[in-house]
Structure 1
Amino acid sequence: MKATLISAAFALFAAPAFAADTVAPPSLNTALAVNLAQDAVAACAADGYNVAAAVTDRAGILLALVRADNAGAHTANAATAKAYTSASSRMPTSAMADTVQKNPAAAGLADIPGFLVLAGGVPVKAGNAAVGAIGVGGAPGGHLDEACALKALDKQAARLK
């Protein structure tokens, strides 16, 4: 009985200290990630482009990858790298590419391992919080990849409120 009371007292005092030293930011779940990847591939297919779409959680860890049947072999890696880059930077990769082009001091961004500084990666936000990222690769231009990612985000917007 005495041990139970001591354990209960410890739990009461230890829990607040532990909670103060941890973080619990929101992150994208797998179900929505799969839907976003499917929607992006479908959006590009509607425009005649065979692409791959990758979705990561807020830390840049891959949650979903969908590749159109006739998409090139390189598209899966490109989409994954774009999603990782966007998740890591919390910004669209098109903005990063623009910055690198206009500011030679930022050129080193392209040298970060795992980064692909080409348009087609977009953060996934729930309100103002970045909860993940989506990357698309394979359309004939990064701006088209990005457009497909944005269409997928628009389609799933109600789930990101």
Structure 2
Amino acid sequence: MKPLLRFTPIALLTAAIVSPAANAQLITYPDISLAVANRLADAAVAACLTKGRHIAVSVVDRGGNLVALQRADNVGPHNTEASRRKAYTALSTKSNTLMFSESARENPDSRNLTTLPELLLLGGGQPLKVGQQVVGAIGVAGGGGAQQDQACAIAAITAVPELNQMSN
């Protein structure tokens, strides 16, 4: 009696290679689009301008890539990089940078994070969430201090209803 299926070494090897690829699942996540990033940046600049504050604002996606950057007239040039680093810090730590910086002052282990070149432990960075997922972050600099920068970032988030309003 002949077997119904005959497996040669090459057939077995081919099946072993193709089978995992055929069953591989791609992971999909929500992410910040250019349109949403620009809405956030516009809203942050507008919120600060109503208070007479000129800012730089950066929005990064879930991978930490810069998606949008705006700099109001008359803001210091160092604020551009500061806003990007605040956004990156908020994304990386999944927390608002004002609370994170306050925590780092109280916790000696967290204080060591100031030695990482990309992190900036100053208020003004806010993670962007959809449900429980962090999908990006916004960073604001130049608004006259950590509290003011943070307020502008939060004002921007409230202007985009697709995002959680109480990101922390």
Structures share fold, TM-score greater than 0.5: yes
Instruction: Write the mapping of 1:35-54 to structure 2, written as runs, cut at 5 A.
Output: 35-54=39-58
1:29 equivalent to 2:33? Answer yes
1:160 to partner: Cα distance:
2.7
Instruction: Write the mapping of 1:59-70 to structure 2, written as runs, cut at 5 A.
Output: 59-70=63-74
Does the Cα contact within 8 Å between 1:60 and 1:85 map onto a contact in 2? no
| Distance across 2 between alignment mates of 1:121 and 1:113 | 16
Structure 2's unaligned 5+ residue stretches are 1-16
Report the CA distance shift for 1:14/1:84 in structure 2 as closer, same or farther (over 3 A): same
1:85 to partner: Cα distance:
0.6
3-state secondary structure, aligned to 1:86:
helix
1:160 to 140, 155, 163: 163
* Residue of structure 1 in register with 2:21 after alignment: 14
Number of residue pairs matched by the alignment? 148
1:113 to partner: Cα distance:
2.0
3-state secondary structure, aligned to 1:160:
coil
Does the Cα contact within 8 Å between 1:75 and 1:138 map onto a contact in 2? yes
Report the CA distance shift for 1:15/1:29 in structure 2 as closer, same or farther (over 3 A): farther
Per-residue CA shift, 1:46-68, capped at 9, x if unaligned? 10101000000012111000000
Structure 2 length as normaliser, TM-score?
A: 0.82
1:37 to partner: Cα distance:
0.8
Structure 1 length as normaliser, TM-score?
A: 0.86
1:111 to partner: Cα distance:
1.1
Structure 1's unaligned 5+ residue stretches are 1-9
1:13 to partner: Cα distance:
6.7
| Distance across 2 between alignment mates of 1:27 and 1:134 | 13
1:101 equivalent to 2:108? Answer no
* Residue of structure 2 in register with 1:111 after alignment: 115
Larger helix proportion of the pair? 1
Highest Rg: 1 or 2? Answer: 2
Per-residue CA shift, 1:60-108, capped at 9, x if unaligned? 1110000001111111111000001111111111121011111122111
| Distance across 2 between alignment mates of 1:160 and 1:93 | 18
Q: Which amino acid aligns with 2:64?
A: G
Does the Cα contact within 8 Å between 1:59 and 1:88 map onto a contact in 2? no
Does the Cα contact within 8 Å between 1:120 and 1:135 map onto a contact in 2? yes
